[in-house]
Structure 1
Amino acid sequence: MKLHELKATTGSRKKETRIGRGTGSGKGKTATRGHKGQNSRSGGGTRPGFEGGQTPLFRRIPKIGFNSHNQKEYVLINLDQIEKFTFDEINHQTLVENKIIKNDKVLVKILAKGTLTKKVKVKVNKVSQSSKAMIEKNGGTVEVI
């Protein structure tokens, strides 16, 4: 026996029913669609989500809140995190190098959670007033891009 001589066992593979291929096939003429009516016609049927005139699910569910298309999302960095950093200059490049942010297109904001004891040079998109005061109190500088 060779590979090209192999055949499926009789009865294990059923022939595909070919619909709409003449009256002799048994599935011709109306092609299993029946006579007349919405679904018998080409392009017939209802749109997705249609529930026969009943208020559809997507309209019954309550709509809550508002999502602005212009909202800017910031990566938040606290002062206690800055205290743990081994580098003294904080900008997008150093944050990407140390894998704190994914890329330099991300917006970064410094918040005042925790305390800061070392001198740091900060150059980011936003800084809270209290964190700016604490950084400058320790002799550091803050530059907002």
Structure 2
Amino acid sequence: MRLHTLKNVKGAVHRKKRVGCGEGGGHGKTSGKGGKGQTARSGGSIRPGFEGGQMPLYRKLPHRGFNNYEFRTEYAVINVGDLAGLEAKITEVNAEVLAQAGLVRAGVTKLKVLGDGEISRALKVTAQKFTDSAKAKLEKAGGAAIVA
């Protein structure tokens, strides 16, 4: 297969709408823009939420509470049971090792280890957070939970 032999799928290419080319074309006179006014003009549009000068609904309603969405700290989470499935030659685990194994996304900076599942081999795990159960399971198996 070569790039110059590729063909579009049937129905992928549409004829360009010829606006303002006479009444016979179906898009003449006002060219699908309705009557006069702001929205008929080139570049004319009103912002979302604008109600023609009337006090908009979003300004009438009370704004209460706090939203931490922009300032939250996101952690990539992994379970102890998932660590047990790593290759036998791996003894030290961190975010880069987990990314190479495909257990977390590449470029993850913060990692949290949860305690779901069982582990029987000693692993030295470096992460930003551990649950108490995860730390206990890692130490019981002879490993270590290192907070980075």
- Place the TM-score, normalised by the shorter chain, in its bin: 0.5 to 0.7
Question: What's the CA shift string for 1:68-120, capped at 9, x where partnerless?
Answer: 43211001101111122223321122112112222344311001112222211
CA RMSD of aligned residues (A): 3.4
SS at match of 1:119: coil
Equivalent residues, number: 111
Identity of aligned residues (%): 31
Pairing 1:97–2:100 present = yes
Match of 2:25 in 1: none
2 CA distance for matches of 1:128 and 1:136?
Answer: 12
Pairing 1:109–2:112 present = yes
Structure 1 segments unaligned to the other structure (5+ residues): 1-12, 18-31, 40-44
The 5 Å alignment of 1:23-42 reads none
Match of 1:52 in 2: 52
1 CA distance for matches of 2:112 and 2:76?
Answer: 6
1 CA distance for matches of 2:125 and 2:45?
Answer: 59
Q: Give the C-alpha shift of residue 57 in structure 1.
A: 4.6
The question of whether the paired residues in 1 share the 8 Å contact of 2:76 and 2:108 is answered with no
1:50 partner letter? F
2 CA distance for matches of 1:15 and 1:46?
Answer: 20
Pairing 1:143–2:146 present = yes
2:93 partner letter? I
Match of 2:76 in 1: 75
| Higher gyration radius (CA) | 1
CA spacing shift, 1:112–1:51, aligned 2, 3 Å = same
The 5 Å alignment of 1:7-18 reads none
CA spacing shift, 1:90–1:107, aligned 2, 3 Å = same
CA spacing shift, 1:60–1:101, aligned 2, 3 Å = farther
Match of 1:123 in 2: 126
Greater mean alpha carbon deviation, residues 119-128 or residues 87-96: 87-96
2:141 partner letter? N
* TM-score, scaled to structure 1: 0.58
1 CA distance for matches of 2:132 and 2:67?
Answer: 28
2:76 partner letter? V
1 CA distance for matches of 2:113 and 2:20?
Answer: 68
* TM-score, scaled to structure 2: 0.57
1:102 partner letter? R
1 CA distance for matches of 2:19 and 2:74?
Answer: 57
2:77 partner letter? L
Structure 2 segments unaligned to the other structure (5+ residues): 1-17, 23-34, 39-43
